[in-house]
Amino acid sequence: MSRLALIAGAGDLPAELVAHLPEPPLVCAVEGYPPAGLQPDLAFRIERLVPLFRELTAAGVREVLFAGAVHRPKFDPALFDPDTAALLPHLLPALQQGDDALLRAVIAVFEDHGLAVRGLADCAPGLLAAPGVLGTTAPDPAHEADAARGVEILRTIAPLDLGQGCVVAKGLCLSVESLFGTDAMLSHVAACRDLREPRRGGVLVKRAKPGQELRIDLPTIGPDTIEAAQAARLSGICLQAGHVVILHRDKVCAAADAAGIALWAGA
């Protein structure tokens, strides 16, 4: 019988994912990115991927699942084994592109070595935002209009493979997520709100990029997102139903309710 391996990065997502799986996976942690609340079964370095593949195959692993944060690696040439070094011509060009291109290259390497890559939607759909209002505060027409504008913006910039979110207030784009992520975007908005109108209100829109590889690196929010949205004086958060992970859902909804932030998921 084949076993599932979790390729785990930093943060809370790996542990919450494990709690949603019917059977415990083999937890493989990337060195330098320990998953919170989980004891890894093994740790590995990116420079030694092929030995990892052999170890997984010997353990009966045929499928892998990715969860957790890992930044773009800085390789140590002295640590490469010859077989992993042979993969560099496939990986290095992707490192110069957007996140989706890089992650597609990573998935291709795993699949080329006989490991099927599964996604959160398949393994733990309960972690994803369901359609509808998620807290007690429903969006009003202004929220809906800003969310629609945000969706339009993200669809327009999707071919550039940038971020998975933006902030819109009264139809104006206040910020677009980049490589530094949602927290940095919201911090920027918070720092700039007194510079010009609108000084409060607006919606954070989080959604997967059109055509994105959905088995890895789905957009994610957690309690810290609500705190950052409140600091940025936002009044709404719109998620793409079925495509955004909600960490610590009960805490997220309670925090949004306490802050008076409309939290909902749509198409």
Q: Which domain holds residue 111?
A: 3-123
What confidence tens digit (pLDDT) does each residue in 13-59 have? 999 999 999 999 999 999 989 999 999 999 999 899 999 999 999 99
Tokens of 235: 């009044």
Residue 166, domain CATH: 3.40.140.80
What confidence tens digit (pLDDT) does each residue in 128-157 have? 999 999 999 999 999 999 999 999 999 999
Angstrom distance (rounded) from CA 218 to CA 164: 9
Given a cut of 70, whether residue 1 has pLDDT beyond it is no
Given a cut of 90, whether residue 159 has pLDDT beyond it is no
Minimum mean pLDDT range among 97-111, 134-148, 203-217: 97-111
CA triple 248-250-255, angle to 5 deg? 95
- Looking at residues 216-245, what average pLDDT do you find? 96
Given a contact cutoff of 8 angstroms between Cβ atoms, the answer to whether 130 and 265 are in contact is: yes
> Of the candidates 123, 154, 173, which is a domain's last residue?
123
- Tally of domains in the chain: 2
> Of the candidates 88, 123, 158, which is a domain's last residue?
123
Owner of token pair 């940038």: 162
**Proportion of the chain above pLDDT 70, given as a percent:** 100
Residue 102, domain CATH: 3.40.50.20
